[in-house]
Amino acid sequence: MKNVLLIILFVYSLSSLIAQNQKLNYTGRYTPVMKYDKIVGLSFVCELMPDFERNFRAESKTYTKINDLLQINRAKENITLFAQDNYVHARADYENLIDYVSIELVVKCDGQYQNAIGTGHALNKQQKELLLKADLGTDMIVKLKFKYKEWISNADKDNGIKEAEYTLTVIPNEEAMMPGGYTQFSDYLNEHLVKPFPGKNNFDKIAQAAVRFSVNTKGEIIMAKLTRSSSDKKIDEAILRVISTMQPWKMAKNAQGVPVQEEFSISLGGGGC
């Protein structure tokens, strides 16, 4: 009997400990980012894809091959087009490896996705104009179709068209932020969303939800919308209420210091979309 009681107490204590550790922790965006003012004047698709080697999506065979080829074919010139030193590749690296069949940019402008298609390494006029209309805080998708250079395809007998995608988020020069930063934002969600719905089952429901909202030029939270449900109506309603009633945020600003509107897409289980 004594052993049974000890086991019950142990399980209860363990459950309580797990419950205490169930906290949301927003740490920022998961996708690579590029400030809007850096987009102005871009000429080549590789300039639009910081950290391409690590973050592009393709079928497993293509992904592995591109990574291997980039490592063995680094350009001799010391040109750094990308932000992360461990994954820096000059334009010559890509020109030595692949020929683009098409480059499609999918960009959100005034709340609607638009696209522009070009060929070759250079961005065309339509693509450059589309980049300048991008909504701040939204994801941009670069869809690539390409073939390996002849010296590669002849060796591997692989001359078919390959496809890959790269996603990045366009951000303002200064992003909008809750006073106190990401830590304060996480604490706010835990206090007003996690705490009123105790238990692991409810936490898991909250964590599977995703929400999108914008911070306007006054710092106000607007246009909150669930992009992925918690599968619980009460929790869904609570998420929208908690997000919509947040205190004003520090406004986003462009390179000239002028307040601008910025969108956020957040997976409550971790990170930004």
Q: What is the pLDDT of residues 110-145, one digit of tens each?
A: 999 999 999 988 999 999 999 999 999 999 999 999
Position with higher pLDDT, 201 vs 79: 201
Can you spell out the DSSP letters for 171-227? E-SB--B-TTHHHHHHHHHIIIIITTS-SHHHHHHHHH-EEEEEE-TTS-EEEEEEE
Compute the distance between CA of residue 97 and CA of residue 107 in angstroms, rounded to an integer: 27
Task: Mean pLDDT check: name the lowest of 4-13, 154-163, 211-220, 246-255.
Answer: 4-13
Tokens at 224, concatenated: 């909150």
Query: Alpha-carbon Rg of the chain, whole angstroms?
Result: 23
Section 63-89 average pLDDT: 59
Residues 6 or more apart whose CB falls under 8 angstroms from that of 159 comprise 147, 148, 153
Query: Mean pLDDT, the chain, as a whole number?
Result: 85
- CATH class, domain 175-267, is alpha beta
Instruction: Find, among 172, 105, 90, 188, the residue nearest to 142 by Cα.
Output: 105
Tokens at 123, concatenated: 């961005």
Reply yes or no on whether the pLDDT at 88 is more than 70: no
Query: Residue 119: how many CA atoms within 13 Å on its side-chain side?
Result: 3
Domain locations along the chain: 33-171, 175-267
State the DSSP H helix or E strand holding residue 64, giving kind and residue range, or none if neither: helix 60-72
pTM of the complete model: 0.80
Position with higher pLDDT, 120 vs 214: 214
Pick the most confident of 75-79, 120-124, 223-227: 223-227
Q: What is the pLDDT of residues 171-202, one digit of tens each?
A: 999 999 999 999 999 999 999 999 999 999 99
Section 79-98 average pLDDT: 58
Distances, alpha carbon 194 to alpha carbons 26, 43, 229, in Å: 13, 46, 15
Position with higher pLDDT, 85 vs 192: 192
